[in-house]
A and B are shown apart, each in its own frame.
Chain A
């Protein structure tokens, strides 16, 4: 068992989930509360990683963050090292790749909050931020949990983006998915079984927790 890869994978999933929630909650609230044609464009962009092959996304990010673009050179000058083939680079790629898995449950949950409640809050002087913290988050808590768990699991099992953007550097970019790929490539099926079992069990436990949590609250509403 590659404990270093497991620790790195958990660290990547935790950091990515924290950043995603910080980004996705205000973004989803804006998509629900806002008006205007630009919202459809933003919503489409946020959903794009769902249909984009991970290797394509990884390739674009590799080029964008590398020395071929002025953006990549600027980042390198700022950080002192390139983002590609680093843990920070993986975090950037993971956040973009898992964005729809955080945004979409939140949009569904926030949109299910009765508009009359939002109107009442607005009439009482609530700012959009207060509407989010006092209405959306408590009333759509199940969506918030679903967004966090889906983001975490999606990042845990990520392969294409990780391989393209991070390569296979032990302790820096070698995650469990990369370990599994290496084990299969080396015909070490016993080790591959154990690695796959960890990824499968973590997904199954987390999904069961979401559905059991939802049922104990007495409904199937997102």
Chain B
């Protein structure tokens, strides 16, 4: 398979100016809201340290906690299944559904089922799968994957949604009123909730001591999916487990504040045991996670609680859109997860970053995202996965940077060049930094020459 070309895919996203501007602004707004929430909690940094430590503790004892979770869940009356990979997960889900004669499945958002491409698998076996999160449903009806792990259709404008709904659920063509569109989806979805034989949720957290799991939504769609049909299937990645109920306080305090800048999601739902007369099935899924756990530099990514804060703050993500990553997970967290799934297909993704470190600074569980991105670049370089132009450029930069005299000469030449070169020599196809942006004014003086003039004699 050809590697995903993120830069090429982003160029199409960038062409749609109105979309690009909205996308950039909307996600930055989420970042600012996150900051306001974080600054309102004096112990915020302590919460991050504790959440990180609890995740690292759990991952270093993961097998024991998984066994504890399984035993508790079983004693609560849930049925527990284990899936090594996506294929086994999909088959298990299908077998549960067919044993119940279920033909319609209402589900809430789950990145894990995206990872497993479950919808396609079930639909070819005549199970109708209805996504019930508004953004996820928009993406399903438009036959596109989610472009963001929290706000799946954030790359679309209201006109796009209106066109999708007019085409697929019979809403009024050309009616772009957001309230109307949301109401149209509410009315379209309600009958499915009432008729579906089965409901599915993911899980944000699974608690070992109680065998329960937690789902956070704003729409209440997970609670409808789980509380109306007689069958509830929950698909849970094995890294979601945490030791105790009291630990939930930390993660719930951090999650929605980091994701959307709200103190909590509208619904934080704890499922421990099936309702009387119904069944609860839990599918614990590995799909590469146990292998990633053994990667010295990269296992930290398993701490992720999928808040999307790193995406919202990333200048590359905001200006290229999630779909350009060509993977289930996009943005900074995607860059460090995706290559573990397919190192060749995602060999270019680690370059979709400025390494500014903002992702690491906002991560609620303190994953060293930008350092991992850098390490993935080293892995790709060692595997000879670099495109030729990049390889040559890096070779030259490496040479220049390693020799102070060469570096100084280059800097002063670059300054002169920017000052004296005509516009067309800077803004052309050879210089990607000159596209869609103005190159900043070069400083009049380098730091070194300023220092020699002003401070060296002191």
Tell whether A and B belong to one assembly: no
